[in-house]
A and B are shown apart, each in its own frame.
Chain A
């Protein structure tokens, strides 16, 4: 099939991704794009053990991911492209082919303000998301499939808080 979800989630592989989205979307592989994780065999092992045996997990840095995205999009199975931060996703958008982004979890950190229960952003991150939307990418927040996708404007305007 293809990559059916492009998700930003700072917890990377965890219950919502593997079970919450993984089961209803019949996800068979995850492309985890993170420069730090791609450089750490131990962290890769940690995340790999969080996924069921029948789900492949590919760990790539951004440059490698950009090179391999066409093959993942041509994959006959359903997959999730997963990044831990907005900047990594922005670099993948720059490479083309990303029509929509799911914000699954950007949690509290110093300097960030709460926008949703599971979305905290600083000014720079808000600006980056606005930029992505201005380029035609659909940006919504939705932690689990059963929740309503919340448009970026509603997130940033505090409508959905």
Chain B
């Protein structure tokens, strides 16, 4: 993992967020952030293969305690990691969960080092919502069957190029 701070070669970046999701989603996304920016060290990838809901919650909570981070990114609103994170963050007013994370969201987050992590996460979520672009012929509204809507938020902002 590259140095995320960009200041010294050996300095270890301080983790600022957890990324959790299905399969190798988190590791893949963090790897992509690191390839693009060298700042992947700000993110802690968490995979949860074979774990029950209770153990997922324990694992994410443990990673948060170890690292002191207050930001969790997850892949799917209906996912087990999101459910666990919501339980962990219940009643916490100093932490934030961003469900439905994508690569543009994380890129924005790792470059917003001047902001408190929680604020940076909220900012990056807005960036991520607007970062999807559709390239190709427009289809009629009635022919766009199947698009969107499986409890994954989305939040609009898809651009037609």
- A-facing mask of B16-52, CB < 8 A → 1, else 0? 0000001000000000000000000000000001111
Known: A15-B22, A107-B51. A42 touches B78 (CB 8 A): no
Name the distance in Å between B30's Cβ and chain A's nearest Cβ: 20
The count of A-to-B residue pairs whose CB atoms sit within 8 angstroms is 70
CB of B77 within 8 Å of the partner chain? yes
Assembly CA distance A137 to B49 (angstroms): 29
CB of A19 within 8 Å of the partner chain? yes
Point out the residues of chain B lying under 8 angstroms from A55, CB to CB. Answer: 151
Known: A107-B52, A108-B55. A46 touches B86 (CB 8 A): yes
Binds B, one of A6-14, A87-95, A151-159: A6-14
CB of B83 within 8 Å of the partner chain? yes
Number of B interface residues at 8 Å Cβ cutoff, please give it: 21
Interface residues of A, dominant DSSP: loop
Interface positions of A from 1 to 59, Cβ below 8 Å from B: 10-15, 17-19, 22-23, 42, 46-47, 49-55
CB of B13 within 8 Å of the partner chain? no
Interface positions of B from 50 to 79, Cβ below 8 Å from A: 50-55, 76-79
- Are B150 and A22 in contact, with the CB atoms below 8 A? yes
Assembly CA distance A31 to B86 (angstroms): 22
- Are A50 and B151 in contact, with the CB atoms below 8 A? yes
Which residue of B80, B149, B150 contacts A11 across the interface (Cβ within 8 Å)? B80
Interface positions of A from 92 to 121, Cβ below 8 Å from B: 105-109, 114, 117-118, 120
Known: A15-B79, A23-B150, A54-B149. A46 touches B87 (CB 8 A): yes
- Are A50 and B90 in contact, with the CB atoms below 8 A? no
Point out the residues of chain B lying under 8 angstroms from A47, CB to CB. Answer: 83
